[in-house]
Structure 1
């Protein structure tokens, strides 16, 4: 009999196309990490009965992580507690400027609190009763220095290297690592601090795109540190042709027992017309890939059942569809269906 996961505590990685958005839910309370699409996020929150957003964490200033916040935050259907952002002197986009202006106005109106700094000292403030959040990166020192080139006492910190990296535990189980667009410089800094980053599911940084260093080396070092059972690429079909083949090849070669999945069907796996085969395994949750039949794993849910972490959609049904309909799936490695090992506290 299939396990029945608890409804009250879950993490939902929304398929928003090329972008990121995770909803960490503890009963009627939630923390949102990044907001690419206000429409899909609105649908998810309304369907799950969430009207109170305790925290919205925006990992960095790129459009595919903040665009949805511009329209979601003024929406009076939701009450928002605190929005967390980090300053970025290198990001000079109109959208980023508009978001900072909006946060100022909403803070002054008493609609929410706006925090212009999030670092490794803030995990306790972000956590809910059954959802623990550890801020892995950046540190207080990183925030103090800000982005910029290497100086006398500080390393180079790029916009992506300053991405907020969160480790999420559901009911004490290490469920997720959410690294935003973390690059090789940022990863080097994290590893030098000997922080605990292991997690059942790794949402791969930068949608499987370029990391600023040798891609195979970055993938192996990151996965060695995280030891994930599932590696998920949040990406949009037809955008930048992510994930990079060399990234997926390294993961499937070095970590053959890990499940590798993409929210949407990569053109590197299946070029041309998308297959029309029935995707009965997909969750009944909002997903950008529902339009145009572009889904692969679609929106993904992580929850707890029998003191173990469960990932939906199930690997077996998803892989069966891939083998029937996808011409050159990068995630296949030797034809074996990986069985996730139990992840204990």
Structure 2
């Protein structure tokens, strides 16, 4: 039996995540900051937490209530600012509807313009599930941990979908542990979360049913087939993303580590069989690009990348990837090509894989 010791000092976990906060890469349009800067006369900057194309996230201390919080400072790019304002309005609505505080959605605390930037203040959470996988040399979580994550993410999706909202960008980077306490198992050289409580973040691209639906959504590796084929997407695209995420949490590796649509579709077919004819015909102009007159994917005839070809041809089967039968049945039930055949979040919560422990 392995024993794990508690780690309560966050910087022992990942030094790179806590680099000298005075170091700034000086990217154009970023807010230029230093430790000790005070923003809006209220938030004092403690340290750097991370960044994305949108801007940077800093840890700040609220001088009024003395609490530690996370502040996202958006670049001076109109597109990102507009997306941030959309995220604020969406989160305000979701937080106000979350009467029982069990939606597993990050809480927004403040939002305001500051020195030509737009700032959003959130509750301070822990690291992302991707960060922990990366720290563990891309080894996955235990089945029991995945069950806990699955329930919470499904409960969150059930809440969002109940209010006609699609997240559109679910991925391990956007699922954060609630705190930064970990257990270390020296025999296996693995960090384990002291708590499996998680929350969903990044609602900048969240889309209501009656809103305009962008042609492309989701980060490449978690993108549903109907999005790639442009056959029309709905809330069930979140479920496809979830299926990809859960397999990654189990294996430690992306299910679809590809950058090309064509190879991506080919790997989908290798893992789950041929696409339904109805779905192919609904893809419009994509039909002639990827499929022949017999509605078969033109693989590997159109493959122009040897790396992608090898990735598809050498890919393990779903049975090899997931020996656990209940878990395999759970994710393959979610990863159905036809969006109408995928379970809703509430239906997935009743699956045997999760129901066994209730």
Q: Report the TM-score when normalising by structure 1.
A: 0.28
Structure with the higher fraction of residues in helix conformation: 2
Rg larger in 1 or in 2? 2
